[in-house]
Structure 1
């Protein structure tokens, strides 16, 4: 029981991560979202019971800054329903859940529990995804049901890719920061294993974000270690893809398409570029406050060119064929710029980069004992910020995005997140000399002297 007590405050945070492993019906409230709401209430009750000032002034400013841009954009929403749902979702992901995680995490032991739960979730979703590929029961991709989507289904093809990519980043950070050799080996093994489902997700944005983030983490710990780890990752990829043929043909075509985004882009790339241009056009018309929360779909057709398709086809993984509408530009920065304007971009995105800067500064000043938490935490936020260039919030995996922001907030802003100093060894003092007792023999009797 004594070994469980230190983890009690952070168990609700880990529960949100674990619940993301459950299958969900499209369009319904997920167990993870419901648990994140309870997480906020739990953190509030815990703070009141502890009766202490929960946040520093810097934490209030950094985490409270997005509220301004989000609230102003909610006022300008097209409908009242859009205003309420958009306000609730943005505050949940970027303010409320991160603050709750910041309040509930006590020390690095709690952080390690949550980070390992992210790795465990990635292994679970990845295992389902690999099975989907091998049995042709995944989402439709190039006419075959081979795309690994885990429990998220074809309506959220980025869900499993995001979870597995975050698992790779978390495991890489743990492997680079762990002090015990066994932990390093286990974490490195998890990272290499997760490369398989990440490849089978066929998500170019997740691949790029993971490569950039893991490369940055490796450089943070030294160029020599980065070169060694990079060589191991390349060798593993060659063996898995080339040697065993893991999605070789489709994967090669997908990799080649990354370099063809300007010469011969496929329709998905054309749609993305068209929506990016539409988002910028919306911002030019409403530069300060944007078109309002969840306003992109309403203004899309008035600003997009005829190159935009009507939607994307989704099928497979237990769901029938349906046409998925394009409701966002698939770029979080452009989504914020178009719906919240410059005010939203400065307040919301400014909060993200303030967290990143403070987290990296604390990482640089921290000692080796804290790197087992600092490296995976910084990696999770870096992955989110890079991935926001190719995606945005939406779907069940968004709850994990909020957890990542919360972990970074703890490391960057909490009072007690600084590394625990290692006590200096006590000076070795020579033992006090034991007094020597000299015994004086009694004089022998006269008869014995002879």
Structure 2
């Protein structure tokens, strides 16, 4: 009898350890994609379907292969009909645009990139994540990566080793370098949205406390990224999360955040003059836009002209750079200047309109835009519909999707950080499309 009493807890602990080991092994391909973004890539922020070929991209391919092997061996569930339709919608527009392209051969790399980012990797993540604990592991993995990138970015600002901004090497870009200035801002914004969802959807306890601490830490590098698009998307996405979490709480949190902003920027002077100038520039986008805004407006207009020439199927994948000059006005500059963060002066070519919706509309036409946007909206609706099954997961998934859909008005795919977006879409897709049994009650507390 005594033996039974003493050995039972040991057996239970052993079982728990084995369960954790199996869980870590199953999620290792997903976590590897996140971790390997630390390896420098040579793609830069090319925009559109450029910037491929990083180690993280290779890891995402391995994730798809591993998932396929598990499916063939019967070790993983297949996609539901709804999930297959929602995730498969982008295939229609992508393939149609490639077939009708004036140069189908040059469109093939674009086909591979779109299928990787919007179909294959999200589907693989959806199939790999099995329950809310897996969801928590990947979500906190995103936060850990954001904290690391943010810490590097803050050090860059304090030591003057960041990317060049207004003649000073102070722009926080993390390990992504000056050629992908949106990389760190995107990663940090993802982490901030995740911890905001956890803090609002979890009960009082260690999970909420950890989330609040992480949120406070991540705000600083996001500000020091000087990324207007990331600021706007984060404010709106977190605002949506606050409203979904309750109006009264939203008012209280807004007041606290406003007070902290005054202390950090006004009182402590964290990037005060530069931040003030950058915030003010948001309101001057029509009255007195800088050259980057002028270039963006010019490329938006060029994308609109391309779409009008081929309204249903567009000019073809990877066609924007080819048709840009014939559709753009003389206001377009030759490229954007980058320097700092360990790199010399470079001029980055403007190969996309820096608006995902206009990029898809110009290259894939109305059919492609409806297919892609329809898939994204279906995920967002599905994620928010499940709020009663778990407020924290719903707020995390809904917030990430909202952030991405808003950010797409100012950015598109391109650069090493793009593969992380596919992981985020897959994580949100699991909550929106997974069978009801897998998304049962509980909280995102971690592994």
Q: TM-score, normalised to structure 1's length?
A: 0.90
Please report how far the alpha carbon of residue 21 of structure 1 lies from its aligned counterpart in structure 2 after TM superposition.
2.7
Kindly indicate which of the two structures has a greater share of residues assigned to helix.
2
The reply to whether residue 20 of structure 1 matches residue 40 of structure 2 is no
Please report how far the alpha carbon of residue 362 of structure 1 lies from its aligned counterpart in structure 2 after TM superposition.
1.7
- Does the 8 A contact of 1:20 with 1:397 survive in 2? yes
Counterpart among 226, 231, 238 of residue 262 in structure 2 = 238
Give the distance between the partners of 1:380 and 1:407, measured in 2 at CA: 9
Residue of structure 2 equivalent to 1:381: 401
- Does the 8 A contact of 1:217 with 1:375 survive in 2? yes
Give the distance between the partners of 1:23 and 1:62, measured in 2 at CA: 33
Please report how far the alpha carbon of residue 75 of structure 1 lies from its aligned counterpart in structure 2 after TM superposition.
2.2
Counterpart among 243, 246, 250 of residue 222 in structure 1 = 246
Counterpart among 151, 167, 176 of residue 127 in structure 1 = 151
- 1:31-42 equivalence runs, <5 A: 31-42=55-66
Of residues 322-331 and 172-181 in structure 1, the stretch that sits farther from structure 2 once superposed is 172-181
Please report how far the alpha carbon of residue 178 of structure 1 lies from its aligned counterpart in structure 2 after TM superposition.
2.0
Give the distance between the partners of 2:441 and 2:223, measured in 1 at CA: 41
Give the distance between the partners of 1:418 and 1:381, measured in 2 at CA: 20
- Does the 8 A contact of 2:132 with 2:440 survive in 1? no
- 1:166-245 equivalence runs, <5 A: 166-245=190-269
Please report how far the alpha carbon of residue 375 of structure 1 lies from its aligned counterpart in structure 2 after TM superposition.
1.4
Of residues 388-397 and 371-380 in structure 1, the stretch that sits farther from structure 2 once superposed is 371-380
Give the distance between the partners of 2:186 and 2:93, measured in 1 at CA: 26
Give the count of matched residue pairs.
418
Please report how far the alpha carbon of residue 297 of structure 1 lies from its aligned counterpart in structure 2 after TM superposition.
0.6
Task: Say which SS state the counterpart of residue 20 (structure 1) adopts.
Answer: helix
Give the distance between the partners of 1:127 and 1:238, measured in 2 at CA: 22
Counterpart among 288, 302, 307 of residue 283 in structure 1 = 307
Q: Quick one: structure 1 residues 196 and 413, their matched pair in 2 at CA, closer, same or farther if it must change by over 3 Å?
A: same
Residue of structure 2 equivalent to 1:147: 171
Give the distance between the partners of 1:380 and 1:209, measured in 2 at CA: 10
Q: Quick one: structure 1 residues 163 and 421, their matched pair in 2 at CA, closer, same or farther if it must change by over 3 Å?
A: closer
The reply to whether residue 116 of structure 1 matches residue 140 of structure 2 is yes
Please report how far the alpha carbon of residue 205 of structure 1 lies from its aligned counterpart in structure 2 after TM superposition.
0.4
Of residues 44-53 and 188-197 in structure 1, the stretch that sits farther from structure 2 once superposed is 44-53
Give the distance between the partners of 1:285 and 1:141, measured in 2 at CA: 38
Q: Quick one: structure 1 residues 224 and 418, their matched pair in 2 at CA, closer, same or farther if it must change by over 3 Å?
A: farther
Residue of structure 2 equivalent to 1:372: 392
Please report how far the alpha carbon of residue 16 of structure 1 lies from its aligned counterpart in structure 2 after TM superposition.
1.0
The reply to whether residue 390 of structure 1 matches residue 410 of structure 2 is yes
Please report how far the alpha carbon of residue 418 of structure 1 lies from its aligned counterpart in structure 2 after TM superposition.
5.2
Please report how far the alpha carbon of residue 189 of structure 1 lies from its aligned counterpart in structure 2 after TM superposition.
1.2
Segments of 5+ residues of structure 2 without an aligned counterpart are: 1-16, 45-51, 443-447
Task: Say which SS state the counterpart of residue 4 (structure 1) adopts.
Answer: helix
- Does the 8 A contact of 2:194 with 2:400 survive in 1? yes
Please report how far the alpha carbon of residue 53 of structure 1 lies from its aligned counterpart in structure 2 after TM superposition.
5.2
CA RMSD of aligned residues (A): 1.5
Of residues 220-229 and 386-395 in structure 1, the stretch that sits farther from structure 2 once superposed is 220-229
Give the distance between the partners of 1:137 and 1:23, measured in 2 at CA: 17
- Does the 8 A contact of 1:20 with 1:121 survive in 2? no
Give the distance between the partners of 2:204 and 2:64, measured in 1 at CA: 34
The reply to whether residue 107 of structure 1 matches residue 131 of structure 2 is yes
Residue of structure 1 equivalent to 2:23: 6
The reply to whether residue 359 of structure 1 matches residue 376 of structure 2 is no
- Does the 8 A contact of 2:299 with 2:332 survive in 1? yes
Residue of structure 1 equivalent to 2:358: 334
The reply to whether residue 301 of structure 1 matches residue 318 of structure 2 is no
Please report how far the alpha carbon of residue 177 of structure 1 lies from its aligned counterpart in structure 2 after TM superposition.
1.6
Give the distance between the partners of 2:415 and 2:439, measured in 1 at CA: 35
Bigger relative contact order (CA 8 A; separation at least 6): 2
Q: Quick one: structure 1 residues 53 and 199, their matched pair in 2 at CA, closer, same or farther if it must change by over 3 Å?
A: closer
The structure whose Rg is larger is 1
- Does the 8 A contact of 1:83 with 1:293 survive in 2? yes
Segments of 5+ residues of structure 1 without an aligned counterpart are: 423-450
- Does the 8 A contact of 2:77 with 2:127 survive in 1? no
Please report how far the alpha carbon of residue 29 of structure 1 lies from its aligned counterpart in structure 2 after TM superposition.
2.5
Q: Quick one: structure 1 residues 389 and 407, their matched pair in 2 at CA, closer, same or farther if it must change by over 3 Å?
A: same
Residue of structure 2 equivalent to 1:444: none
Q: TM-score, normalised to structure 2's length?
A: 0.90
Please report how far the alpha carbon of residue 179 of structure 1 lies from its aligned counterpart in structure 2 after TM superposition.
2.6
Give the distance between the partners of 1:149 and 1:220, measured in 2 at CA: 31
The reply to whether residue 97 of structure 1 matches residue 129 of structure 2 is no
